[in-house]
Amino acid sequence: MTARRRIAALVVAGALVLLFVLGGLGWPAPPEDPADAQAIDTEPESLLGETVSITGTVTEVDPSRVAIEHRGGSVELVLVGDPADHIEPGQRVTASGTLIGERTLEVDRLDARNAWEYHYMYLISVVGVALAGVAAANRWRWSHRDRALVPRERSLLGGDHRG
Amino acid sequence: MADLLTHVLVAFVLATVLSWWLGSISPAMVAAAMVGAVLPDLNRLELVLPATTVEALLGLPWTWTVLHRLGGTLAVIVLVGLAVHRDQRTMVVGMLVLGAASHYLLDALLWQADGVVAPLGWPLIDWQPAFEGWYRSMDRWPAVVATVLVVAVAVADGNIIGRPSPSD
């Protein structure tokens, strides 16, 4: 890697670290949805009547009660409204609605999933990463002479030699 | 994110189809597009090294979500591009952008609780239109559709791993 490339890489890496920090600060706007769960836990009165989004695990039904984890711990919410009528304990729900009480959410939109569906998502994603990794290793190599990634003249798994 | 397998397969399909018209898109460049499709999900570093741990170590606010946003992905693409030989750099950056763009396009179609597209353009583009969403990351059908597309494209292309050259 030439000195110029090394300096450029350092500058870009520095910019990326700055973005991590700015994102953590929520500047210029939060890169993620507002930390509703934490706000519900610590200052629910400030969110009364507001639309909030939550993700959590169903702990009880009748009434539907959901445990929501957040950075600082967890909080339980009671869900009311038609979309919350068909959830089951153990499911993971993502929902949004209006906070009508300090621990009560009137649900507008809700999606409930079983644990195995999350396991499927992670497993299939590992397969995706492995596929991309094999494709890259099959077609690219590190050249010590050039100190850079270069296309292989022949793929590891056979096939053409066009790089 | 849609599931990562879907992202990688869609990038393969797009890059392979483009290679039918652009001779400069070699199998190595198709692989680069597949890698580009993975880059936005580097935010899964959160599972290995939680942002709260980084914050405690550095004493600074921190979020890995940046890696799943336009600004963070562009920075990562430039970093990867700098590691590539200069002869291939421009093309590789283009293919990484193609893969990452397809990732963001698929993620913009995700169901979100609040009914609006996630702030994927942060911090460069503030665009979050209302959208009902077509699927969630744990749905199975996107990967099935993507797999069918891959098989169709691979058959049309002649080889799923690499096209045999006349000398092979």
Q: B37-95, pLDDT tens digit by residue?
A: 999 999 999 999 999 999 999 999 999 999 999 999 999 999 999 999 999 999 999 99
Residue-wise pLDDT tens digits, B8-36? 999 999 999 999 999 999 999 999 999 99
Q: Sign of the CA dihedral A82, A86, A90, A93?
A: negative
Phi, psi at residue A115, to the nearest 5°?
A: -60, -40
Q: Let me know: does A63 contact A87? Beta carbons within 8 Å.
A: no
Residue A159's pLDDT is what?
61
Residue B166's pLDDT is what?
39
In angstroms, the CA A151 to CA A148 distance is: 10
Q: Do A136 and B113 touch (CB under 8 A)?
A: no
Q: How far is B151 from chain A (nearest CA, A)?
A: 15
From first to last of its 163 residues, chain A has per-residue pLDDT tens of 688 999 999 999 999 999 999 999 988 777 776 657 778 888 888 889 988 888 889 988 888 888 887 766 788 899 998 888 888 899 999 999 999 998 999 999 999 999 999 999 999 999 999 999 999 999 999 999 999 999 999 998 876 555 5
Which of B4, B34, B84 is facing A135, going by the closest CB pair?
B34
Residues 41-70 of B with CB under 8 A from A: 41, 51-52, 54-55, 60-66, 69
Q: How far is A62 from chain B (nearest CA, A)?
A: 22
Average pLDDT over residues B130-158: 94
Whole-number percent of chain B with pLDDT over 90: 88
In angstroms, the CA A76 to CA B158 distance is: 55
Q: Do B113 and A32 touch (CB under 8 A)?
A: no
Residue A15's pLDDT is what?
97
The length of chain A, given as a count of residues: 163
Cα dihedral: B13, B18, B21, B22 (round 10): -130
B159: pLDDT strictly greater than 60: no
In angstroms, the CA B136 to CA B124 distance is: 25
- Give the per-residue SS3 of B100-129: HHHHHHHHHCECCCCCECCCCCCCCCCCCC
Residue B2's pLDDT is what?
75
Residue B167's pLDDT is what?
40
B102 touches chain A (CB under 8 A): no
Q: Let me know: does B106 contact B131? Beta carbons within 8 Å.
A: no
Reported for A113-117, long-range contacts at CB under 8 A and 24+ positions apart, including other chains, are A113/B136, A113/B138, A114/A90, A115/A90, A115/A91, A117/B138
Q: Which residues are CB-neighbours of A3 under 8 A, at least 6 positions away?
A: none
Pairing of strands A92-101, A104-113: antiparallel
Q: Which helix (H) or strand (E) holds A9?
A: helix A3-25
Q: Which helix (H) or strand (E) holds A13?
A: helix A3-25
pTM for this predicted structure: 0.90
Average pLDDT over residues B99-119: 95
In angstroms, the CA B12 to CA B150 distance is: 7
Residue A65's pLDDT is what?
86
In angstroms, the CA B89 to CA B23 distance is: 16
Q: Do A29 and B122 touch (CB under 8 A)?
A: yes
Q: Which whole-number Å values give the CA distances from B92 to A4, A108, A135, A144, B39, in the listed order? A: 19, 44, 14, 19, 13
Residue A4, classified by CB atoms within 10 Å of its CB into exposed (0-12), middle (13-18) or buried (19+), is exposed
Nearest CA in chain B to A143: B85
Q: Which two tokens stand for residue A105?
A: 């959410």
In angstroms, the CA B48 to CA B59 distance is: 19
Q: Which two tokens stand for residue B2?
A: 């849609």
Neighbour tally for B21: CB within 10 Å = 7
The length of chain B, given as a count of residues: 168
Q: Do B113 and A53 touch (CB under 8 A)?
A: yes
Nearest CA in chain A to B36: A132
Nearest CA in chain B to A146: B85
B123 upstream amide cis, omega within 30 of 0: yes
Residue A55's pLDDT is what?
87
Q: Do B113 and A125 touch (CB under 8 A)?
A: no
Residues of A with CB below 8 A from B69's CB?
Answer: 23, 31
